[in-house]
Amino acid sequence: MSFKSIIQDMKGEFGSISRRGFDVKFGYGMRSRSHRVVQDSSVPVDVFKQSCWANMPPELLRDVLMRIEASESTWPPRKNVVVCAGVCRNWREIMKEIVKTPEISCKLTFPISLKQPGPRDSLLQCYIKRNRSNQTYYLYLGLNQASNDDGKFLLAARKCRRPTCTDYIISLNCNDVSKGSSTYIGKLRSNFLGTKFTVYDAQPPNAGAKVTKSYSTRLINMKQVSPRVPAGNYPVAHISYELNVLGSRGPRRMHCVMDAIPASSIEPGGVAPTQTEFLHSNLDTFPSLLFFRSKSTRAESFQSGPLSDQKDGMLVLRNKSPRWHEQLQCWCLNFNGRVTVASVKNFQLVASPENAAAGQEHENVILQFGKVGKDVFTMDYQYPISAFQAFAICLSSFDTKIACE
């Protein structure tokens, strides 16, 4: 029996197990509720114990799983990697070591990947779709550069207007976008004018993060999402737009202070905090397959300590200044073909000169966002920010800013 036949046979076995046990859809956006998934999770385990793969030698098993991970590099075939991690505890431990973080692999595999920094040397291409009717935004991983009609769902956000501010609730589940949801991972909050925003993470981004108490914090505490860590709103970024009181023409001016990322992270060898697990232990709510620690990073839950204990300050990003095009009579930025429609919302973020080591050599784009069609926008990001942070920053551009335009 050839090695290729073995892998094909395993994939066929995984297909029957996944169909009977759970719906693999990147771990969220499932058609069934989370507790239903956990209740059915015993089915694939029983099926697996009766299969011919239960007693495979560890060395051969590791080799097979490594080849599956290497061959299934894009979605939707990459769901087979997720299935492998959910077969049993032994397989899961092996997949923890095989699957690398997006910084190294340039791939988004498990939900925790959305909280980890992107690739160092390339932009990870995503896009956002806006639903005006229900004020909801959906983030997808781009699967086809020629079209934004298909993609892998990553995150969803819903706009909630308050008397004095606006909240954007961010969730892993496109069908349950609320603060009390078990898939709530953070939010974006604006001030009354829509000129200042704060990005909150539902769990601490580093060991010394301080929680900000609010009504949503009390909702999460009532749910008892994680008894090990105090649930709440941990500020990870502050975004501000300059006021345009004179009404002069030109693009918006914005800058972002990344509270959880040191300025040295953009230097060669610099390190940004990397979350390695979702700190949820309520197994009645969360399927054990989807939220686990990755051994491709350090053993601790967070790779770096609080910024207050580090020598350098916080990373500051600013929008790249566009140039005026005389023939087109408009402000222009080079998006390398990723943006096709002129919009005041379009921007590119680079390291600000405020960072001690930043200079001309740091003009590489860390995040770019722009319009490509009606209610469709591209979002490309790279190290040291994560997909969650990039999505939250882009959401700030959707908010109405009367004093900035």
256 in a domain, yes or no?
Answer: yes
The reported pLDDT for the residue numbered 313 is: 86
Which amino acid, one-letter code, is at 3? Answer: F
CATH number of the domain encompassing residue 379: 3.20.90.10
Mean pLDDT of 81-104: 88
Q: Give the count of domains, the chain.
A: 2
Whether 70 and 130 map to the same domain: the answer is no
Expressed as residue numbers, the domain containing 67 is: 52-99
> Of 395, 381, 322, 400, which Cα lies nearest the Cα of 171?
395
Whether 368 and 255 map to the same domain: the answer is yes
Percentage of the chain lying above the pLDDT 90 cut: 36
Rounded to whole angstroms, how far apart are CA atoms 28 and 247? 44
Rounded to whole angstroms, how far apart are CA atoms 388 and 308? 23
Strand duo 166-171 + 184-190: pairing: antiparallel
- What is the SS3 string spanning the chain? CCHHHHHHHHHHHHHHHHHHHCCCCCCCCCCCCHHHHHHHCHHHHHHHHCCCCCCCCHHHHHHHHHHHHHHCCCCCCCHHHHHHHCCCHHHHHHHHHHCCCHHHHCCCCCHHHHHCECCCCCCEEEEEEEECCCCEEEEEEECCCCCCCCEEEEEEEEEEECCCCEEEEEECCCCCCCCCCCCEEEEEEECCCCCEEEEEECCCCCCCCCCECCHHHHHHHHHCCCCCCCCCEEEEEEEEECCCCCCCCCCCCEEEEEEEEEHHHHCCCCCCCCECCCCCCCCCCCCCCCCCCCCCCCCCCECCCCHHHCCCCEEEEEECCCEEECCCCEEECCCCCCCCECCCCCEEEEECCCCCCCCHHHCCCCEEEEEEECCEEEEEECCCCEHHHHHHHHHHHHCCCHHHC
Whether 63 and 199 map to the same domain: the answer is no
pLDDT, averaged across the chain: 76
Whether 128 and 193 map to the same domain: the answer is yes
Categorize the per-residue pLDDT at 238 as very low, low, confident or very high, splitting at 50, 70 and 90.
very high
Relative orientation angle of helices 3-21 and 42-49, to the nearest 10 degrees: 140
The reported pLDDT for the residue numbered 310 is: 41
Structure tokens at 214: 């609010």
Rounded to whole angstroms, how far apart are CA atoms 153 and 220? 24
321-326, long-range: CB < 8 A, 24+ apart:
322/251
Whether 184 and 261 map to the same domain: the answer is yes
Rounded to whole angstroms, how far apart are CA atoms 7 and 20? 20
pLDDT, tens only, 161-189: 988 889 999 999 999 898 888 899 999 99
Which amino acid, one-letter code, is at 82? Answer: V
Mean pLDDT of 285-302: 37
pTM, entire model: 0.79
Structure tokens at 178: 């609320």
Do the Cβ atoms of 285 and 34 come closer than 8 Å?
yes
26 in a domain, yes or no?
Answer: no
The reported pLDDT for the residue numbered 91 is: 87
Bin 336: left if φ > 0, else alpha if -120 < ψ < 50, else beta: left
Whether 203 and 93 map to the same domain: the answer is no
Do the Cβ atoms of 183 and 176 come closer than 8 Å?
yes
Whether 197 and 75 map to the same domain: the answer is no
Whether 180 and 72 map to the same domain: the answer is no
Q: Is 234 exposed, middle or buried (0-12, 13-18, 19+ CB in 10 A)?
A: buried
Whether 72 and 184 map to the same domain: the answer is no
Categorize the per-residue pLDDT at 31 as very low, low, confident or very high, splitting at 50, 70 and 90.
very low
pLDDT, tens only, 297-337: 333 344 444 444 443 589 999 988 888 877 877 778 889 88
Whether 336 and 382 map to the same domain: the answer is yes
296 in a domain, yes or no?
Answer: no
254 in a domain, yes or no?
Answer: yes
Q: Which of 73-87, 262-276, 277-291 has the lowest mean pLDDT?
A: 277-291
Q: Is the pLDDT of residue 3 over 60?
A: no
Whether 61 and 198 map to the same domain: the answer is no
Rounded to whole angstroms, how far apart are CA atoms 13 and 7? 10
Which amino acid, one-letter code, is at 392? Answer: A
Q: Is the pLDDT of residue 140 over 50?
A: yes
Rounded to whole angstroms, how far apart are CA atoms 19 and 3? 25
109 in a domain, yes or no?
Answer: no
Whether 144 and 263 map to the same domain: the answer is yes
105 in a domain, yes or no?
Answer: no
Q: Is the pLDDT of residue 357 over 80?
A: no
104 in a domain, yes or no?
Answer: no
Q: Is the pLDDT of residue 216 over 80?
A: no
The reported pLDDT for the residue numbered 56 is: 77
Mean pLDDT of 111-127: 94
Most confidently modeled of 43-52, 231-240, 287-296?
A: 231-240
387 in a domain, yes or no?
Answer: yes
Q: First vs last Cα of the chain: how many Å apart?
A: 67
Most confidently modeled of 46-55, 220-229, 262-271?
A: 262-271
